[in-house]
Structure 1
Amino acid sequence: MMALYAALTSLVLVPHVVAWGSLGHMTTAFVASRFVRDETRKHFQHLLGDDEDGYLASVASWADSVRYTRWGRFTNTFHFIDAHDDPPYRCEVDLERDCKETGCVITALANYTRQSLDDELPRWRRAQAAKFVVHFVGDLHQPLHNENVEKGGNGIYVLWDDREFNLHHVWDTSIAEKWIGGRTSYDEAERWANQLTLAITDGKFSDEKKKWLDDLDFSHPIETAMAWSREANAFVCTHVLPDGVEGVRDRELGGRYFDKAGPVVERQVARAGYRMAAWLDAIADEFRASKNRHQATLEL
């Protein structure tokens, strides 16, 4: 038992990897850290054992770093939901039909949100849960994490600035990197997050940010995650595969395709960060309220 504890504890401490790709995940987490309440920041900095400004960004890709380990392979299906739809003619997500028996990003977000609130779990388990929550909110906003066609685009090979990649990689990484100037690093993620924060508070997203939270209902995490999933999945019809699979296969996507896809990625990263902040606020509030209720019961 002690050996298992030591192994799992070491996984909690795995550093983030620069591999939505890591740029999108880190940026989303940085945006969230700009909008969480002060009490929420203190809660998660304590839980994660990190009082630095990047306490969320530094763990944002942790879930990707463990999914291919012997311990973490059970989480592999937690990063996506396979929408069995028919883009570009019909885009839709159905939980019963599309979520694998081993789980999906919808059920994973609900499960790890619940674990992050369980005061009977050891702190390292709740820290693990928080890292999964941060990551899965990001995954939910990447359109191809909400699509089944060709394994979420992994089986569709395209050209990106004369280099061959699969379409999933393009939407995970290439579009975001090109959008911010071709660089990807922790510092670049923070810089991009600062730009998005200004766009949300005083810029082009300021008028729509309130609506971004319309479907957020902390008491119904499955329904909330499904709303975000359906929103992202709709982009598969309009921007990812507007002319079907053959409209992109072996085609150069670094030009006009990028011009249309870039703003979608930008908006989705901003949405994910803003929503993540609200979700983390709700977790911190409920954890605090639960402890207060427990204390009041003890004092009766």
Structure 2
Amino acid sequence: MRCNLLSLAAASALVPHALAWGTVGHATVAYIATGLIKNETAAYCKKVLGDQSANVLASIASWADSYRYEAGGGFSTPFHWIDAIDNPPYSCDVDYDRDCTDAGCIVSAIMNYTTIQRVNIAAGTIEPDSLKFLVHFLGDIHQPLHDENYGAGGNNITVYVDGSKWNLHAAWDTAFITKITGGTNITTAKAFSTRLLASIQSPTGVYATASKKWFRSSLKDPKAAAMKWATETNNYVCTAVLPQGPLAIEGKELNGTYYQVAVPVVEEQMAKAGVRLAAWLDLLVTGSTPFLGCPSKRAVRAVPLVV
């Protein structure tokens, strides 16, 4: 979640017990992935993370948000987003060379930790942090304001949701999800993920057809995969987040039409994140995924890490 400590504290004060995207959003994405991954992938994750429970991915899904504030974890702060320097609502686009800084970004982080995981799997090494980062960053990259520079990813735009004051980023991270689900804890995330999973897996589900096209990526080019996800998600900044520009929502209550447009975007992006996380982990561990429909060679090359 792209907030500083002050904004996190402010959000917590505004919504008692709210633990932001990390609790409900990230856990929901992780639960969806858990419901879709192969048994072999699930066994691998349980072994690496030292957790044999059904909550194995959900329990670490927001780890990266707290790690960035720990001693030695500050280097990972820029990895939670990519600052698209575009011009919403007139133009939305992500450019890696322009938008990914020397300190890194979410695209370079997905590239790096995918490479690290491939090396770990090939060597039989047990190293949990790279897996934890991937679980988190594949969630973050599907939130539109994690792929946007304007207003510090919406952190500098004040809005209201049901009378409570938020910044726009936190509204999308937290307030909307809380309003949709009616809760703020991991139990809420489990119930939310069950509904979204049914929308993916049921023959009559909302995403039954679309979800089959959500993953067309390869481990051979994690940069291309991450850029595709970031670009697709960034497009929502123009169509749903800032459709009439920031002045139209600054200091305003985000209800009515705005909220009605936001809800299906939030739900679909979380469903996409869960599908893509499951497929990415399946490719890493088993070399194939039902969502791709064909095997992926798992030969590990010496790939230099990038920022």
Three-state SS of the structure 1 residue aligned to 2:265 is helix
- TM-aligned CA distance change 1:121 to 1:86, over 3 Å: farther
> What is the CA–CA distance in structure 2 between the aligned matches of 1:271 and 1:277, rounded to whole Å?
10
Three-state SS of the structure 2 residue aligned to 1:84 is coil
Look up the equivalent residue of 1:161 and give its one-letter code.
D
Is 1:111 the counterpart of 2:112? The answer is yes
Matches within 5 A, 1:194-209: 194-202=194-202, 203-209=205-211
> What is the CA–CA distance in structure 1 between the aligned matches of 2:41 and 2:72, rounded to whole Å?
30
> What is the CA–CA distance in structure 1 between the aligned matches of 2:128 and 2:22, rounded to whole Å?
22
The answer as to whether partners of 1:20 and 1:172 remain within 8 angstroms in 2 is: yes
Corresponding residue number in structure 1 for 2:174: 173
Q: Higher Cα Rg: structure 1 or 2?
A: 1
Q: CA deviation at 1:113?
A: 1.1
Corresponding residue number in structure 2 for 1:264: 265
Corresponding residue number in structure 1 for 2:218: 217
The answer as to whether partners of 2:24 and 2:184 remain within 8 angstroms in 1 is: yes
Look up the equivalent residue of 2:206 and give its one-letter code.
K
RMSD: 2.1
The answer as to whether partners of 1:141 and 1:268 remain within 8 angstroms in 2 is: yes
Q: What 5-or-longer segments of structure 1 have no aligned partner?
A: 1-16, 293-300
Q: CA deviation at 1:217?
A: 1.6
Number of aligned residues: 273
Corresponding residue number in structure 2 for 1:4: none
The answer as to whether partners of 2:158 and 2:168 remain within 8 angstroms in 1 is: yes
Corresponding residue number in structure 1 for 2:131: 130
The answer as to whether partners of 2:20 and 2:173 remain within 8 angstroms in 1 is: no
Corresponding residue number in structure 2 for 1:66: 67
Three-state SS of the structure 2 residue aligned to 1:117 is helix
> What is the CA–CA distance in structure 2 between the aligned matches of 1:217 and 1:234, rounded to whole Å?
22
Q: CA deviation at 1:250?
A: 0.3
Look up the equivalent residue of 1:271 and give its one-letter code.
K
The answer as to whether partners of 2:159 and 2:252 remain within 8 angstroms in 1 is: yes
Is 1:276 the counterpart of 2:277? The answer is yes
- TM-aligned CA distance change 1:221 to 1:235, over 3 Å: same
- TM-aligned CA distance change 1:165 to 1:18, over 3 Å: closer
Corresponding residue number in structure 1 for 2:15: none
The answer as to whether partners of 2:68 and 2:76 remain within 8 angstroms in 1 is: yes
Look up the equivalent residue of 2:93 and give its one-letter code.
E
| % identical equivalent positions | 42
The answer as to whether partners of 1:31 and 1:197 remain within 8 angstroms in 2 is: yes
> What is the CA–CA distance in structure 1 between the aligned matches of 2:37 and 2:125, rounded to whole Å?
24
> What is the CA–CA distance in structure 1 between the aligned matches of 2:245 and 2:21, rounded to whole Å?
21
Three-state SS of the structure 2 residue aligned to 1:249 is coil
The answer as to whether partners of 1:116 and 1:127 remain within 8 angstroms in 2 is: no
Q: CA deviation at 1:283?
A: 1.0
The answer as to whether partners of 1:146 and 1:232 remain within 8 angstroms in 2 is: yes
The answer as to whether partners of 2:20 and 2:184 remain within 8 angstroms in 1 is: no
1:21-78 Cα distance to aligned partner (Å, 9 max, x none):
4211000000000000011000111110111001000000000011122211000000
Look up the equivalent residue of 1:129 and give its one-letter code.
S
Look up the equivalent residue of 2:82 and give its one-letter code.
I
- TM-aligned CA distance change 1:85 to 1:121, over 3 Å: farther
The answer as to whether partners of 1:20 and 1:138 remain within 8 angstroms in 2 is: no
The answer as to whether partners of 2:144 and 2:233 remain within 8 angstroms in 1 is: yes
Q: CA deviation at 1:165?
A: 0.5
> What is the CA–CA distance in structure 2 between the aligned matches of 1:64 and 1:72, rounded to whole Å?
10
Q: CA deviation at 1:187?
A: 0.8
The answer as to whether partners of 2:284 and 2:298 remain within 8 angstroms in 1 is: no
Three-state SS of the structure 1 residue aligned to 2:152 is coil
Q: CA deviation at 1:256?
A: 2.5
Q: CA deviation at 1:286?
A: 4.9
